[in-house]
Amino acid sequence: MEFTKDSLKIDAAAVTEQLCQTIRTQIRTRLHKTGAVVGVSGGIDSTVCAALCARALGPERVVGIMMPEKDSSPLSEQLARKLAAQFGFQAIKEDISGGLAGLGCYERRDEAIRSVFPEFDPSWSAKITIPTNILEKDTFNFFHLTIENKSGESRTKRMPLAAYLQVVASSNLKQRLRMTTLYYHAEKRNWAVIGTGNKDEHEQGFFVKYGDGGADLKPIAHLFKIQVYQLAEYLKVPREIIDRTPTTDTYSAEVTQEEFFFGLDFYKMDMLWYALEHKVPAEKAAEVLGLTVEQVRHGYANIERKVNATEYLKLPPLHAV
């Protein structure tokens, strides 16, 4: 099939029906559970997953868990409540700040940030970013730390390894406590935990092992982000959720997924990736996407490197025999 601008268009109605059937069968036959617990963040992926589950199982067999912590945007909870009201499932709020503080999340993170910026204190917010010029050169990933204060002043430095690892290790406590909270609600009801990652996140490794990566089933892990948007339109989820820029919802300064992980806008990344998977020659992809051949090659190399680096995240526990 020829590679065109429309190669990632799906028949959203047909895909929805097939996904609902799969969700029912997997929950019943493979998992022996009778309902679904979904972490609802007000983002597009968890929204589509919750809407699909409500349709597949009936809203009375679905519960959406909102899990804010002190760095979360208050908008996330508002959007999640709106979603739950529209699709008729119960929404429960579990603030995980107390659990995070108890494990030293904020302290450990701030200690690492202060090793880079000694002036950092809770009046500043912080984020980590990667190079976003990945179509221009074949660069390794490295990380910048940016801190911002309330008057809009910001400072940026490349992170030494030890600081980077400690900030990431501390932030990953958030995803793992969210998984933990979802399983509490699932085990209490004998229901299943839904993982809400899409293909971009799953296959490029943008998830935390046993954090948001830990779930019983992942209904949209095979769909490109721009396909998830098509399902969202078909399912008529709230417009503000569709229009919201995807963020990590992990750092105190707002950071887009493009800045933090993918380094490329979703349309270009998904199309390049599809082209790579289907062995579309770089020349053809360049023509369809309005890029140079060189840019396509850098994009291919970057995606390939990320996909190859994810083995660790997806490995089941290794046994010695």
Binders in 137-176 for its own copies, by CB under 8 A = 165-166, 168-170, 172-173, 176
Q: Which of 110, 216, 249, 259 binds its own copies (CB under 8 A)?
A: 216
The residue to which tokens 């950071």 are assigned: 255
Is 45 annotated among the ligand-binding residues?
A: yes
* Binding of its own copies by 190 (CB under 8 A): yes
- Name the residue nearer to another protein (CB basis): 23 or 91: 23
Residue 86 binds which of its own copies, another protein, none (CB < 5-8 A, kind-dependent): none
Dihedral angle sign, alpha carbons of residues 271, 272, 277, 280: positive
Report d(CA 159, CA 146) in Å as an integer: 10
| Binds its own copies by CB under 8 A, chosen from 195, 246, 263, 299 | 195
CB atoms within 10 A of CB 270: 24
Residue 48, marked binder: no
* Smaller CB separation from its own copies, 152 or 321: 321
Out of 28, 30, 114, 236, point to the residue binding its own copies (CB under 8 A): 30
Q: How many residues does the chain have?
A: 321
Dist CA 259 CA 131 (whole Å): 7
Neighbours of 92 (CB within 10 A): 14
Paired with 156 in beta bridges are 146
Task: Answer yes or no: are the C-beta atoms of 105 and 170 closer than 8 Å.
Answer: yes
Out of 92, 117, 139, 184, the residue judged to bind its own copies by CB under 8 A: 184
Q: Which does 26 bind (CB under 5 to 8 A by kind): another protein, its own copies, none?
A: its own copies
The reply, when asked if residue 180 is annotated as ligand binding, is: no
Distance between CA atoms of residues 286 and 316, nearest Å: 38
194 DSSP β-pair partners: 38, 217
220 contacts its own copies (rule: CB under 8 A): yes
Burial environment of residue 72 by CB neighbours within 10 A (0 to 12, 13 to 18, 19 or more)? buried
Residues within the interface to another protein (CB under 8 A): 24, 27-29, 32, 34, 57-58, 61, 131, 137-142, 158, 160-162, 164-165, 190, 305, 309, 312
Binding residues: 39-46, 176, 196, 201, 209, 216, 225, 247
